[in-house]
Structure 1
Amino acid sequence: MQLSPNQQDNEQTFSEEEKGNQLFPVFVKLNKLHTLLIGAGNIGLEKLRAIINNSNRAKITIVAEMILPEVYELIKDYPQIKIKQKSFDVDDLNDIDIVFAATNNQILNEEIRAVTHEKGLLINVADKPELCDFYLGSIVQKGDLKIAISTNGKSPTIAKRLKQILNEGLPAELDATLQNMSALRNTLNGDFTAKVKKLNKVTESLVNPRKNFFEANIKWLIWLAAILLLGTAGITLWNTEPEFQTFFINIDPLFYWFLGAGFVFALIDGAIGMSYGVTSASFSLAMGLPPASASMAIHISEVMSNGIAGWMHYKMGNVNWKLFKILIIPAIIGAVLGAYILSSLEHYSSYVKPVVAVYTLFLGGVILMKAFNIKRKKAEHKIKKIGLLGFVGGFIDAAFGGGWGSIVLSSLIAGGRHPLFSLGTVKISRFFIATLSSLTFFTMLGGKHWEAVLGLIIGSAIASPIAAKVSNKISAKTIMVAVGIIVMLVSLRSVVLFILKLF
């Protein structure tokens, strides 16, 4: 079939419109224009909020037959916004510069678009990209800085996700930098080229920021801390524990048990990204280790793995250093304090064990909830007491053998923090917490139960390179359900045995 010349023109135009993103980004001064919003239901309310959030001095006329009470509540502090409760007619376009159609009547929206174009005006039709002359993108704002994100109408969800990433990644202090740059710009003399060179030089640090000593040497600091910890522990054991020198001749069976346990628990952790602490703690208590010795074994075995994981997240740019600085000091204080108190109660381990068992019983339930995707209601605002969260997380992690990720990471994400940056920050923080709590345990307890410690270290190290392959072979939900049930049963057993001893 041969196309007519008119059809050929239409076909060519359509293909050109579909080829690439043809949008030209602009920032409109709505406070200088007169805006017409048609519709005041849920859709109209959403558009009105978007306009006011970005231009709270915009002059808006709202035309609608039905008006939500929330609309009246929203505009009560904006006297420049007027409401006409009536049906739309062409005369409403008089003295208007830009139009938003937000009705749920498709036929009416198309009629509004037609008469709007006759008047030579631009229009945005809610949820109908093909009828729009312009789109409303997702907005990231830091003071006077605004970044608009558009996906050419293809996926608003992607735009919202990018907004989350930029909101988390761009510091609030950027607005102060912007104000300083504005002041500097007003003081510069010379021609345009000279001004540009000077401003480029001043802003070079935004593109190539200078790293402080800690950020620039994080890899070596992690390795140094891990080697010092493990070296100190090895030398101390060699000089103070005669049995350690003949260990490889007369190997204690306890070593084999913890070697296998460390291997299995590390595989589980690699497959589902959690539960190493709670599974190790439950197993250690079941094997007769006092809570302090169990927590020491867990934290020493985690030093190297968390150091490597933290460094990898750093290399991938997943660490929020501002969040890290707020989190790390209170977390270390909490972890050292928890390790000190738990070590001081070593003589009362028979009473501490059931407390730890109740805690691991709770964490087992948390794992089951995650397996079946049972979620708590997401917080509307970001959690603000980061220091307190770090202290509590560090204390519980050291005092009860685990829980840093379960408490801190889940709280940050539930509180609105970006999951990727939260994970990277929590992982690198965990390394320093594990290192300092391990040193505290070792200082207080010496080389007690070193067979279990060594077994967990070697077992988890062997499992690390295998864990990724295992995660691709076994269903994560299956593993989480199994782990949750096993941890709860083992923990419940410890609680029941304690109750029976009392009676």
Structure 2
Amino acid sequence: MQVLPNQPDNAASFSEEEKGNQLFPVFVKLNKLRTLLIGAGNIGLEKLTAIVNNSHSATITIVAELVSPEVYALIANYPLIKVKQKSFDVDDLNDIDIVFAATNNNILNEEIRKVTHERGLLINVADKPELCDFYLGSIVQKGDLKIAISTNGKSPTIAKRLKQILNEGLPAELDETLQNMSALRQTLNGDFSAKVKKLNKVTQSLINPKKSFAERNIKWLIWAASVLLIGAIGFSLWNTEPEFQTFLINIDPLFYWFLGAGFLFALIDGAIGMSYGVTTASFSLAMGLPPASASMAIHISEVMSNGIAGWMHYRMGNVNWKLFKILILPAIIGAVLGAYILSSLEHYSAYVKPIVAVYTLFLGGIILMKAFNVKRKKADQKIKKIGLLGFVGGFIDAAFGGGWGSIVLSSLIAGGRHPLFSLGTVKISRFFIATLSSLTFFTMLGGKHWEAVVGLIIGSAIASPIAAKVSNKISAKTIMVAVGIIVMIVSLRSVIMFILKLI
């Protein structure tokens, strides 16, 4: 059953269309429909060519008083096209599904549109957008791939130019890729999600074209060359300089422990985007570092990484400067105050350690909640006390070794702030917080536990370029669960040990 299209002839409908492109794009199977083309001059030839180029098996009836030789030449290769050389009559609409009017008589075109609508049929009137129920877009075709371009009837010339650009830009081999994808699709098993993941992986090459071995592995070649160079220099110094050998032997083993820990924790942070502070703080406490020294090591090692991350977000325009201005000063004050208080309590580290352990135990629980998508209730309105949030976040981050992202970023997003701009603003703020809290720690504590500090700096720096690769190979949920459990166990151990000492 065909339905009469709702297209009132009044100014209100035109003004509605002017608000934007209201067209609904569809691809019609004309080879399944009965098509009527009225007019067989130059305009009719253009419409007919467009139809047969896209639907070779279309059943078409042409009605026209005059039929150009070019039309006869074209239909010679299409036996399903028949011509009625006569004037249009309403009976020509019998047994017809869709109509194309291609005459140069405006009065006749309007009459054809009227009787067509009375029959409940859709019509396209050449060069008269206001009389059309549908438009013919410019077509770009590469085998089975077909792209239609519409300008809402405003400029066919623009559509043709875009067609040229796409025809030149899309490789002819794209159809071969499409056929291969179709064959692959028939072999896939599993649910819809599994099939989509497999197809996405295969089609990645469309946006990341094949590169040479050197192009694909230039980063690793540079790293391999650097490691070989450093290794060669180290081997030479070991064999020729006794002082260097003595220096390495006498380095506190704590350095090597923190070198490995910094590397591992930076990999985890790169894979799941969080937990560097909480994992490092838990490890540092377990290794016997006082809370202040642990926090100093964490913040110094984070200065460079957060500076780079903040700069990248700035370059990409992800920083909300109004939010930054409100956030940064209270955050710095809180961080410096937290670092100062924690450093002042260095002599009471035995009592501060369990407090920090309880805090990291709490953060470990948060990591587990995020791993299993346990969401807290979101606020209905944007958080307004940004300055207070920055102060609290900065203070806790410095006083307990981490938590800036967990507290501030999660609060901003939960409070209705845009996630991307919140992330960029928090990252660039973190650089200043890490820098000034590190300066405060260093002023108060001096070079205490430098082995841990240097180990974390070097380890995290080495891991940074590798972290992205790791994130693509390991399940983020698996890492988060493992990290959450380990952090909670280590933190719980510190709390229990403190309680046992009191008993």
- Deviation string 1:357-396 (CA, Å, 9 cap, x unpaired) is 0000000000000000000111110000000000000000
* Structure 2, gaps ≥5 residues long: 1-31, 37-95, 100-121, 125-132, 138-147, 155-242
The reply on whether 1:453 has 2:453 as its aligned counterpart is yes
* Residue 488 of structure 1: aligned partner: 488
The reply on whether 1:467 has 2:467 as its aligned counterpart is yes
Residues 274, 23 of structure 1: alpha-carbon distance in 2 compared, 3 angstrom cutoff: farther
CA offset at residue 7 of structure 1?
2.8
| SS class of match (2:460) | helix
* Structure 1, gaps ≥5 residues long: 25-242
Residues 454, 380 of structure 1: alpha-carbon distance in 2 compared, 3 angstrom cutoff: same
What amino acid sits opposite 1:8 in the alignment?
I
The reply on whether 1:435 has 2:466 as its aligned counterpart is no
What amino acid sits opposite 1:452 in the alignment?
A
* Structure 2 CA distance for aligned equivalents of residues 295 and 252 of structure 1: 19
Residues 327, 15 of structure 1: alpha-carbon distance in 2 compared, 3 angstrom cutoff: same
Residues 244, 261 of structure 1: alpha-carbon distance in 2 compared, 3 angstrom cutoff: farther
CA offset at residue 453 of structure 1?
0.3
CA offset at residue 463 of structure 1?
0.1
| SS class of match (2:250) | coil
- Deviation string 1:408-430 (CA, Å, 9 cap, x unpaired) is 00000000000000000000000
Number of residue pairs the alignment of both structures matches: 285
Residues 245, 307 of structure 1: alpha-carbon distance in 2 compared, 3 angstrom cutoff: farther
- Deviation string 1:107-128 (CA, Å, 9 cap, x unpaired) is xxxxxxxxxxxxxxxxxxxxxx
What amino acid sits opposite 2:320 in the alignment?
N
What amino acid sits opposite 1:273 in the alignment?
G
CA offset at residue 14 of structure 1?
3.6
CA offset at residue 20 of structure 1?
3.4
Provide the TM-score with structure 1 as the length reference.
0.55
- Deviation string 1:283-331 (CA, Å, 9 cap, x unpaired) is 0000000000000000000000000000000000000001000000000
Residues 461, 15 of structure 1: alpha-carbon distance in 2 compared, 3 angstrom cutoff: same
- Deviation string 1:422-479 (CA, Å, 9 cap, x unpaired) is 0000000000000000000000000000000000000000000000000000000000
Residues 374, 497 of structure 1: alpha-carbon distance in 2 compared, 3 angstrom cutoff: same
The reply on whether 1:371 has 2:371 as its aligned counterpart is yes
* Residue 361 of structure 1: aligned partner: 361
* Structure 1 CA distance for aligned equivalents of residues 433 and 291 of structure 2: 18
* Structure 1 CA distance for aligned equivalents of residues 321 and 153 of structure 2: 35
What amino acid sits opposite 1:399 in the alignment?
A
CA offset at residue 266 of structure 1?
0.1
CA offset at residue 248 of structure 1?
3.9
The reply on whether 1:414 has 2:445 as its aligned counterpart is no
* Residue 476 of structure 2: aligned partner: 476
* Structure 1 CA distance for aligned equivalents of residues 497 and 271 of structure 2: 32
* Residue 269 of structure 1: aligned partner: 269
Aligned 8 A contact 2:380 2:416 in 1? yes
* Residue 8 of structure 1: aligned partner: 98
* Structure 2 CA distance for aligned equivalents of residues 327 and 478 of structure 1: 34
The reply on whether 1:20 has 2:51 as its aligned counterpart is no
CA offset at residue 3 of structure 1?
1.6
What amino acid sits opposite 1:3 in the alignment?
R
* Residue 211 of structure 2: aligned partner: none
The reply on whether 1:346 has 2:334 as its aligned counterpart is no
What amino acid sits opposite 2:450 in the alignment?
W
Residues 311, 15 of structure 1: alpha-carbon distance in 2 compared, 3 angstrom cutoff: same
* Structure 1 CA distance for aligned equivalents of residues 411 and 312 of structure 2: 23
- Deviation string 1:118-176 (CA, Å, 9 cap, x unpaired) is xxxxxxxxxxxxxxxxxxxxxxxxxxxxxxxxxxxxxxxxxxxxxxxxxxxxxxxxxxx
- Deviation string 1:321-350 (CA, Å, 9 cap, x unpaired) is 010000000000000000000000000000
What amino acid sits opposite 2:34 in the alignment?
L
* Structure 2 CA distance for aligned equivalents of residues 254 and 303 of structure 1: 21
**Equivalent runs, 1:287-326 vs 2, <5 Å:** 287-326=287-326
- Deviation string 1:12-32 (CA, Å, 9 cap, x unpaired) is 5445498537499xxxxxxxx
* Structure 1 CA distance for aligned equivalents of residues 33 and 422 of structure 2: 59
* Residue 12 of structure 2: aligned partner: none
What amino acid sits opposite 1:319 in the alignment?
V
Residues 302, 245 of structure 1: alpha-carbon distance in 2 compared, 3 angstrom cutoff: farther
| SS class of match (1:353) | helix
| SS class of match (1:314) | helix
Choose 1 or 2 for highest CA Rg: 2
- Deviation string 1:238-292 (CA, Å, 9 cap, x unpaired) is xxxxx99975452211001000000000000000000000000000000000000
Aligned 8 A contact 2:300 2:438 in 1? yes
Aligned 8 A contact 2:371 2:477 in 1? yes
Deviates more, 1:10-19 or 1:296-305: 10-19
* Residue 258 of structure 1: aligned partner: 258
Residues 306, 2 of structure 1: alpha-carbon distance in 2 compared, 3 angstrom cutoff: closer
- Deviation string 1:180-200 (CA, Å, 9 cap, x unpaired) is xxxxxxxxxxxxxxxxxxxxx
What amino acid sits opposite 1:487 in the alignment?
V
Residues 407, 23 of structure 1: alpha-carbon distance in 2 compared, 3 angstrom cutoff: farther
CA RMSD of aligned residues (A): 2.2
Residues 287, 2 of structure 1: alpha-carbon distance in 2 compared, 3 angstrom cutoff: closer
* Residue 381 of structure 1: aligned partner: 381
* Structure 1 CA distance for aligned equivalents of residues 436 and 368 of structure 2: 31
* Structure 1 CA distance for aligned equivalents of residues 153 and 354 of structure 2: 64
What amino acid sits opposite 2:286 in the alignment?
A
Provide the TM-score with structure 2 as the length reference.
0.55
**Equivalent runs, 1:24-423 vs 2, <5 Å:** 247-248=247-248, 250-423=250-423
| SS class of match (2:383) | coil
Identity across the alignment (%): 86
* Structure 2 CA distance for aligned equivalents of residues 23 and 467 of structure 1: 50
